[in-house]
Copies of this chain bind each other. A is one copy, B any other.
Amino acid sequence: MFSRYRDDLESEFDATVPLMPAAGEVRGLYSMLRYHMGWADAQGSDVDSPSSQGKALRPTLCLFACEALGDKWRRGLPAAAALELVHNFSLIHDDIQDGDVERRHQPAVWSVWGQPQALVAGNAMRSLADLAALRLTRRGVSPEKAVGASLLLTNGYLEMTMGQCSDLAFEGRLDIGLDDYLQMVSRKTGALIRCGMEMGALIASDDPEEVRAFSRCGSRLGRAFQIRDDILGIWGDQGATGKSVGNDIRRKKKSFPVVYALSVAPDPARDRLREAYSRETLDDECVQDVLGLLDELNVAKYAERMTREQADLALKEVDSVSMPGWAREEIRLLTEFLAARQY
């Protein structure tokens, strides 16, 4: 999907995190970033077939919005690269924060180079992202729009930070409602996805209503993406996701299925759920018990319906925006993929 953006995106990434041969320490710093992105191994050698690169969802949405609104989409490349780098900066810091030793089937940056270096590497990644967005002017984007795009990116990331704070605050609580949950994910995950659509639309269009429509579409897509992620976190196929079934239950993650179950379960079942999530750790038996309860309550089906609903709403948001037939078809396919993906 959207494979026509791939080569240009890769060149743009490469130019945004350049290997500067000058000073040794700088080279070392950039090597960490290239390792995290899956372009190089821990010794700094280039990887031939970068497999761990992830889905590049945010830059793809940005370039798509640009192209769908009739613009020369290559003008959006710096914004697309910036989005992916901000996303990856946040992953480097997340892994430090959560003590996660692995990322995309390889050791996390901090577990290779230590926390202080990973902290600095993440901050450098973010600087490179900000520079990329500010340099949109070099591609012929007006300074007004470069400022606007940079504001969107920074606000998007700040919103994401707020979502992370809510997520941390929710950890110890059992009284999270579905609305609380949806607000939290629309910040934590939705903000940068929305940002992709909105930045692309802003670069391409002078009509604020079009930009807002793409922004709202992005918000819906973000929700669909996260609920699907939560489904995969519990019932996903281990081979495709790299995680075992029930993984998010074992980690006591307050994901969509659990929040929903806690809010609708009738009394004896609800008590069992609350009891399980009050424990220090969940053993296998307990995980099986929770899985059984979710089954009884038909949670998977409800979560899938919600994903579908958000996906449909996403498409509806851009219904009135005029775009070429291919673009309408592409956004339909993309939404379909996000709502039904197995990985």
Asked if A28 and B116 sit within 8 Å, CB to CB, the answer is no
Chain B residues whose C-beta falls within 8 Å of the C-beta of A137 in the assembled complex? 147
A11-44 toward B: CB 8 Å interface, digit per residue (1/0)?
A: 0000000000001111011000000000000000
Is A165 located at the chain interface by the 8 A CB criterion? yes
A120–B161 CB distance below 8 A: yes
Cβ–Cβ contact A26 & B165, under 8 A = yes
Contact with B along A260-289 (1 / 0, CB 8 A): 000000000000000000000000000000
**8 Å CB contact of A134 from B127, B135, B147, B168:** B147
A155 within 8 A of B: yes
A169 to B29, alpha carbons, bound, how many Å? 11
Cβ contact of A120, chosen from B25, B97, B117, cutoff 8 A: B97
A96 to chain B, nearest CB (A): 7
A158 close to chain B: CB less than 8 A? yes
- CB of A143 within 8 Å of the partner chain: yes
1/0 contact string of A234-248 vs chain B (CB within 8 Å): 000000000000000
- The CA-CA distance from A167 to B210 in the complex, in Å, is 49
A161 touches B29 (CB 8 A): yes
Residue in B29, B119, B127, B168 whose CB lies within 8 Å of A97:
B119
Chain B CB within 8 A of A93 CB: yes
Chain A 113-145 interface residues, beta-carbon cutoff 8 Å to B: 115-117, 119-120, 123-124, 126-128, 130-131, 134-135, 137, 142-144
User: Does B123 contact A93, Cβ atoms closer than 8 Å?
Assistant: yes
Considering the chains assembled together, what is the distance between the CA atoms of A130 and B127 in angstroms? Answer: 11
Other CB < 8 Å A-B pairs besides A124-B158, A127-B155, A150-B150, 8 of them?
A93-B123, A98-B116, A116-B168, A119-B119, A120-B164, A127-B161, A143-B146, A147-B150
A101 at the interface (CB under 8 A from B): no
Q: Is A162 an interface residue (CB 8 A)?
A: yes
| A157 interface contact, C-beta 8 A | yes
- The contact size tier of chain A is 35 or more
Contacting pair A127 B168 (CB below 8 A)? no
Inter-subunit contact B143/A147 (CB<8 Å): yes
Whether A25 pairs with B150 at a CB distance below 8 angstroms is: no
Q: Is A106 an interface residue (CB 8 A)?
A: no
A127 touches B154 (CB 8 A): yes
User: Sorted from nearest, which 7 A-B pairs have the closest CB atoms?
Assistant: A143-B143, A25-B165, A127-B158, A97-B116, A143-B144, A130-B154, A25-B169
Chain B residues near A146: list those with CB within 8 A: 143, 147
A324, chain B: closest CB distance, angstroms: 31
Determine which residue in A26, A96, A142 has the highest number of CB atoms from chain B within 10 A of its CB, and name it.
Answer: A26
Would you call A56 an interface residue if the criterion is a C-beta within 8 Å of the partner chain's C-beta atoms? no
A150-174 contacts to B (CB < 8 Å):
150-151, 154-155, 157-158, 161-162, 164-166, 168-169
Known contacts A119-B96, A161-B29, A161-B120; A154 and B142 CB within 8 A of each other: no
Report how far A271 CA is from B261 CA in the complex, Å: 71
**A-B contacts, 20 listed (Cβ < 8 Å):** A25-B162, A25-B166, A26-B165, A29-B162, A96-B115, A97-B115, A97-B120, A120-B165, A123-B126, A127-B158, A130-B154, A131-B154, A134-B147, A134-B154, A137-B147, A143-B143, A143-B146, A147-B147, A147-B150, A150-B150
